[in-house]
Amino acid sequence: DAKTTQPPSMDCAEGRAANLPCNHSTISGNEYVYWYRQIHSQGPQYIIHGLKNNETNEMASLIITEDRKSSTLILPHATLRDTAVYYCIVRAPLSNTGNQFYFGTGTSLTVIP
Amino acid sequence: DAGVIQSPRHEVTEMGQEVTLRCKPISGHNSLFWYRQTMMRGLELLIYFNNNVPIDDSGMPEDRFSAKMPNASFSTLKIQPSEPRDSAVYFCASSDRGYYGYTFGSGTRLTVV
């Protein structure tokens, strides 16, 4: 699986958009970009994933650059409950060796009142 | 759906004792994963199963750790004998090998004294 690079921490004002960047310069053509978050003391939670097109769901938007070497997770209107560690992971959905996710250190997002 | 169910939520045991952690995956999911999380090492994949068969146990720290999945609805992670350095939060996750990633349980917080 390709490695990802994320800033260790970020702050965001409540009600503003939170933009979390991720670099994945060695991503392969069949690898998807996944985002998870982990709120303190809970298990990681799936947020969104994409291959090359931008994606949006009820939780967030995912913007992937045209060369696919980086992406940004956008929380459009951050709330205090969005304070969490956000993990960016790249992985092929059905690899021959299995479909396990390897989590890095993520970005610790703090939403400030 | 009740999600991935782990038990117990908390476990405190004395060094040298056997510890068994339990997981019930989401019905219909055919992949199951055990992770361990500590402050020092983050989220580590220990072992995963596809269709009840262990595929990769290279993350299991040593022979004191063992995992089984006797059927599609139940898995155990056993530590015998336990040591203080095994103290961590242990997460179980399941997946249908599709594109949408994993669903994690709430975790078992293990403290070995």
- Per residue in A59-108, pLDDT (tens digit) is 999 999 999 999 999 999 999 999 999 999 988 765 545 567 888 889 99
The DSSP symbol for A98 reads B
- Per residue in B45-102, pLDDT (tens digit) is 999 898 999 988 888 988 999 999 999 999 999 999 999 999 999 999 998 866 667 8
Please list every residue in chain B whose beta carbon sits closer than 8 Å to the beta carbon of residue A99.
31, 95, 97
Tokens representing residue B27 in the block: 């019905």
Phi, psi of B86 (to 5 degrees): -80, -5
| pLDDT confidence band for B110 (50 / 70 / 90) | very high
Nearest to A20 by CA among A110, A94, A113: A110
A89: nearest CA partner in chain B: B101
Task: Report CB contact under 8 Å: A100, B33.
Answer: yes
Distances, alpha carbon A43 to alpha carbons A29, A36, A99, B105, in Å: 29, 10, 18, 6
Using CB atoms, pick whichever of A46, A101, A103 lies closest to residue B42: A103
- The Cα B52–Cα B47 span in angstroms is 12
Are B40 and B88 in contact by the 8 Å Cβ rule? The answer is no
Largest CA distance in chain A: 46
Minimal Cα–Cα distance from B100 to chain A, Å?
Answer: 7
